Each structure stands twice: as C-alpha cells, then as structure tokens.
Amino acid sequence: MPGGSGGELTSGYARILDEIIGLLNIEMYSSVGVGSGDRLVLMGLREGAVNAYSFDGVDLVKLNKEPISGIARVPYDADKVVFIRDVSHGREQHLIYTVHLDEPGNEKTLEGVEPARILGVAYDDHRIVYSASTAVENGLFIAESGVKKIATLPGFAMVSDINDKYAVGVGLLEPATGRSQAFIADLATGKISVYKRMDGNAITARFSPDGWVLIAIEGSAKAELLRLDPETMEAEQLVLPGKDLDEFEPRSYSYVGFLPDGELVVVGRKNGRTKVFVDGVALKVPEGIHGGVYKWKNRLILTHTSLGNPARIIDVNGEVVLSGEVPKYIYEALGSPGFHFIESSDGSKVPTFSIESKRAGKPGPTVVLVHGGPFSEDADVWDFFAVSLALAGYNVVKPNYRGSTGYGDQWRMKIIGDPCGGELRDIVSVAKWSLLQGIADTLYIMGYSYGGYMTMCALTKYPGMFKAGVAGASVVDWKQMYELSDAAFKSFIQMMFGGKMDLLEERSPITYIDNLSDPLMIIHPQNDSRTPLKPVLRFMEEGLDKGKTFEAYIAPDMGHAVTKVDDILKILYPAILFLLRQKEI
C-alpha cells in the first residue's frame, strides 16, 4: 500500500496501476449466435479491444480487421456476420460491415449507408435493417440491393428482428411518456404500428418462428411476455407450459430468443440476478447474470458473469466453454459482496450492491460508485471499475437509485421529470448508510456519464458530504447539451425531463458551481457525442473565474462508449491516481 514517503508512494501506486493492467487484460466473451457449420459467434474483449470471433470448439477465429462497436444477433445457420464500427474516433458515427464466416478478415462495408449513430441492426439471408439517428432525425432503414429509408421515427429506436414482411423493435415513440414502446414496421409500405402501454417499458421484441411477435416488458409490478399478432396488433399474455418462470416473478427480462426447434428461451431478472428458462422451465445455472442462450453442437450454451466472474461462455451444466483467466491477486483483494435494500429519505428502498476490499479495512475509505444510463442496473456482474477500486484499497457501494432498471416500471419512472432530485437523495442515503453500517470511514463518489452527472450534483448540492469526487463524461449543463445533441439524444433528454424543458437550468450542476468546495477530478472524452465536452469546458472556465480548484483529464481520440482497453485506462488511471492522492491528504 502507498506509504508516507515519496518513494514508497510512487512504488505503491505503480504496483496498483500494474495490477489494473492485469485486470484489463482478462479476456471476456459473450455469445451472439450460432452460424453455419455450427460455428459459435462471439463478441470478445481480447487483443485490447472488442472484436468478433467464430469458434468451432477448437479454434477461435477473429472475423473483423479493425476493432468493432457491436454485432447483430446471428440468425441460426447464417453464413455471414453483421457488425458496426465507429468511424469517427468515438463520435459514434457508425458504418455497417459484413463478413462471411468462411472468409475471416475479409470484411465488407455495406454500400449506401451514411455514417450515423446506429442503434439497432437485424438481418436475414437477404436483407439488413437498421435504426439510426442523424443530427436531424431518427430513421429505420433497409439494405437490400441499395439502402432505403423505411420510416422516420419520433425518437430513439432499436430495431431487433426482421421477417419477410416486418421489422420489430422498441423505441421512444412518444418521448414525453418516458417509456419505450414496441413497434412493428411494414417493410413494404413503411407503416409503423405501435403497441402502446402506459404501465410498462418495452425491453425488446422478436418474431416467433410462426410469425407472431414476442414483446418483453418491464411492467409496473412484474415483468410480462406478450404475444402480439402483427396483422391485428392484438396482444395477449403468453402462456408457457412450464411454471417456474411465473413462480420466479421476474421484474424484467434481459434476453429472449427462440431455439431452432421453436422453444422459447427467456432470461428473467430480479434483484440484480437472472435465471434462465426454456418454455417456462428453469435451468440450473450458476448465480449471476446470464444472456445469449443458443443451441450449439447439441448443447445449450450461454453467457455468464457475476461479481467474481468476467463474462464467459458456459453450458447449462455449468461447464466452461470459453473463459479468460483471473489473476490470483484479484481474488485476494476482493472481499465479500453484499446486496441490501437501503432506506432513502422518502422511505423508498434503494437496492444496493457492496463489494469490500481486503485492502481497505472495515470501516475504510469507500467509493460510492454510481452507474450511468440512468436506465441501467448495478447487478451481480464483473465490473472493471469496482475491481480496480478494490485493488486500490477502497470498499465500493453501488446504489440502484430510482431510475435504475431491473426493479419494475414504477422505480424506473420515478426519475422522470426530476433529474438531480430524488435519485441524488437515494445516493446520499446509501452513502450515509455505508458510514452507519461500518463499511465506510471516509466517503468518495465516482461515476461515468449519468454517474458523472450525479457526482457533479452531489458535490454542488451536498458539499462536505464526500471527501472528493471523480466525474467522468458528466452532464453539467442540460441546456447546452440539448443544443449539441443529435435527434436520438434530444428525444432522450425530453424523456428524462418528462417534457418539462423549463427545468433544464435548475437541474444543471453549473447553476450551483458556487457551492463547489470538495476536490474534484473531471475526466472527459474529447470526442464524446452523448455528453459533449463543451459544457464541461465552460464549467471549468467558470470554476477558474470563481477560484475553484479542480483537476481535469481530457481523453483524446475517444468518445463516450468504451470499447478498447486503452479507453478504459484513459478513464481509470487518472481516477485511481486522484483518489489515491486524496487518501494521503
């Protein structure tokens, strides 16, 4: 551990930074489908970046040339893989590429696609559909001997499946409602039909082999699976032969798919963990979060991760198919994980994961690590940031503040129209709890994106509560950010504020910059197109004029999305070094 004198300090820091490199070099895999010749297609964090691989059980073959940003789900027996790549140094302007499984490395650019923020891609054997956002509009496009626009969509939309007649997906079709709805697009006429629900958030939509549409919804009390007829738009609750899924009472779904014989696989989600069901019957899988369930070489395989396991491929018997190796020093530093419901200022219960560091002591220095989204969830998953903090000697608490997903539509919707309000009080309640609970003796706060915004809110609205904060890719000025946003993020901001756009200034940390008094580290990607740098530069300029002290690292040649080991280091190194120095003060 860093000691008191300069020399010891430096060598202590150097060891931690080295350990973090070791952590980031762990290979991670997730399954995206099974193509022709029974080849498993994977997205892998390997060779320092995200790449596409095919795996026949013996050889792992890289399919792309340069690193990628995402892969479309592979239909069974497809001979090509479709992926997207950021071609704008992180500004999230993507192009689409195809590669034949028999010709690894021979990727082809899909002709006729203009660079845009691509939010969803689905394909069959002769067409590719994609949803994308440009500066001015959100659209649904089809590539089939040339690219054409099928429809303009009112907001953020993610197409997820295609059949002969239709494409389906989910999106913010009425941003002011705060919910995403399922849509069905008629490929011939461009007509968009919306299955609208005001008591739930549509997670994804898929075609069954018989042509009906499965819609997964995070409902107000529990999650739902609906069976919708695309001709009549009538929907009914799906009834499955097995009853384990109903008994589990999932709050949400994180994966749905059909196996080649037509059986339905769903991954149900509750309290930060998932379970896997085939036609409603539970499979025995290790505890954690699961996804990408496919039939491969006559066995069922899936992606699994947990606080103690980087994403890897296992089969349903728990046998490891493909996995990175975790160096021993990591397990030696990680203490026991915990899951708690912590009372917030209004009596709500905030689901929170905690990870103790064996290097921190108890109570010890503790980082409240705040997730982004805000529509995402801190769950039982491997987390570079949390593990790095544990290596550096900090306990970590991760609150699922209101707005988080996985706990039902009511909890998620509570953030709408009230950013930097109730969710911040949830985070502060969790921070106070970790002191009372004997986890923390000193509190720090750190987050990226919406989590960076929460850090800025905490330091400007609760000065003195945290010893220091790290704000990565943060929001400091909603007004300027809205002006700089493309169509997708304009609709997203409208949704966040529930249409109450007069609140933008009141909910911006720059408005309260006079209150800033705790040490602040600002880390921001230079090419960020979701939470742009410009408002943060203005924040710094105002801070400078007002005599504030802060540190800043502007990360060059990267944007909001983190897809390379180098990108992660650009965020983690300054964050960890800053926190270590604060610990010495």
Catalytic residues: 449, 528, 560
- 260-319 residues in contact with ligand 4NP (CB under 6 A) are none
Rounded Cα–Cα distance for residues 52 and 60 (Å):
10
The correct pick among 373, 417, 421, 463 for binding ligand 4NP (CB under 6 A) is 373
The correct pick among 372, 399, 525, 559 for binding ligand 4NP (CB under 6 A) is 372
Stretch that binds ligand 4NP, among 61-69, 108-116, 273-281, 491-499 (CB under 6 A): 491-499
Question: Which distant-in-sequence residues (6+ apart) come within 8 Å of 449 by Cβ?
Answer: 372, 373, 472, 473, 474, 475, 530, 531, 560
Between 132 and 493, name the residue whose CB sits nearer to ligand 4NP. 493
**Beta-bridge partner residues of 312:** 304
Between 155 and 372, name the residue whose CB sits nearer to ligand 4NP. 372
According to DSSP, the β-strands at 440-448 and 468-472 are parallel
Least separation, in Å, of the C-beta of 496 and ligand 4NP? 4
Least separation, in Å, of the C-beta of 371 and ligand 4NP? 8
269 three-class SS: strand
CA–CA distances in Å: residue 174 to residues 41, 171, 179, 408, 481: 35, 9, 8, 20, 21
- 374, two tokens: 């805000």
Rounded Cα–Cα distance for residues 27 and 68 (Å):
16
509 three-class SS: helix
The correct pick among 123, 492, 539, 578 for binding ligand 4NP (CB under 6 A) is 492
Residue 422 touching ligand 4NP (CB under 6 A): no
**Number of shown-chain residues binding ligand 4NP (CB under 6 A):** 10
Stretch that binds ligand 4NP, among 93-101, 121-129, 170-178, 492-500 (CB under 6 A): 492-500
The correct pick among 450, 466, 539, 578 for binding ligand 4NP (CB under 6 A) is 450
Least separation, in Å, of the C-beta of 397 and ligand 4NP? 19
Rounded Cα–Cα distance for residues 52 and 69 (Å):
10
Rounded Cα–Cα distance for residues 68 and 79 (Å):
19
The correct pick among 20, 307, 493, 579 for binding ligand 4NP (CB under 6 A) is 493
Question: Which distant-in-sequence residues (6+ apart) come within 8 Å of 308 by Cβ?
Answer: 331, 334, 337, 382
Least separation, in Å, of the C-beta of 501 and ligand 4NP? 12
Between 356 and 378, name the residue whose CB sits nearer to ligand 4NP. 378
Longest alpha-carbon distance in the chain: 74
Between 294 and 489, name the residue whose CB sits nearer to ligand 4NP. 489
Least separation, in Å, of the C-beta of 350 and ligand 4NP? 18
- 148-177 residues in contact with ligand 4NP (CB under 6 A) are none
* Angle, CA of 503, 509 and 514, to the nearest 5°: 120
Question: Which distant-in-sequence residues (6+ apart) come within 8 Å of 271 by Cβ?
Answer: 251, 339, 351, 406
**Closest Cα to residue 533, out of 555, 565, 505?**
555
CA–CA distances in Å: residue 252 to residues 267, 317, 412, 416, 436: 9, 24, 11, 19, 32
Least separation, in Å, of the C-beta of 117 and ligand 4NP? 12
Residue 489 touching ligand 4NP (CB under 6 A): yes
CB 255 within 8 A of CB 214: no
The correct pick among 160, 201, 395, 449 for binding ligand 4NP (CB under 6 A) is 449
Between 271 and 376, name the residue whose CB sits nearer to ligand 4NP. 376
**Running DSSP on this structure, what letter comes out for residue 564?**
B
Stretch that binds ligand 4NP, among 136-144, 340-348, 427-435, 487-495 (CB under 6 A): 487-495
Q: Look up tokens 């819609």; give the residue.
A: 215
The correct pick among 496, 520, 536, 565 for binding ligand 4NP (CB under 6 A) is 496
CA–CA distances in Å: residue 81 to residues 72, 123, 316: 7, 9, 25
Between 33 and 509, name the residue whose CB sits nearer to ligand 4NP. 509
Least separation, in Å, of the C-beta of 75 and ligand 4NP? 29
Least separation, in Å, of the C-beta of 554 and ligand 4NP? 18
Rounded Cα–Cα distance for residues 206 and 264 (Å):
11
Q: Look up tokens 């039939």; give the residue.
A: 295
351 three-class SS: strand
Least separation, in Å, of the C-beta of 246 and ligand 4NP? 32
Residue 195 touching ligand 4NP (CB under 6 A): no
**Contact pattern for ligand 4NP over residues 517 through 536, marking x by CB under 6 A:** -------------xx-----
Between 250 and 403, name the residue whose CB sits nearer to ligand 4NP. 403
Q: Positive or negative CA dihedral for 38, 44, 46, 51? A: positive
Least separation, in Å, of the C-beta of 108 and ligand 4NP? 31
Using CB under 6 A, list all residues that contact ligand 4NP.
372-373, 449-450, 489, 492-493, 496, 530-531
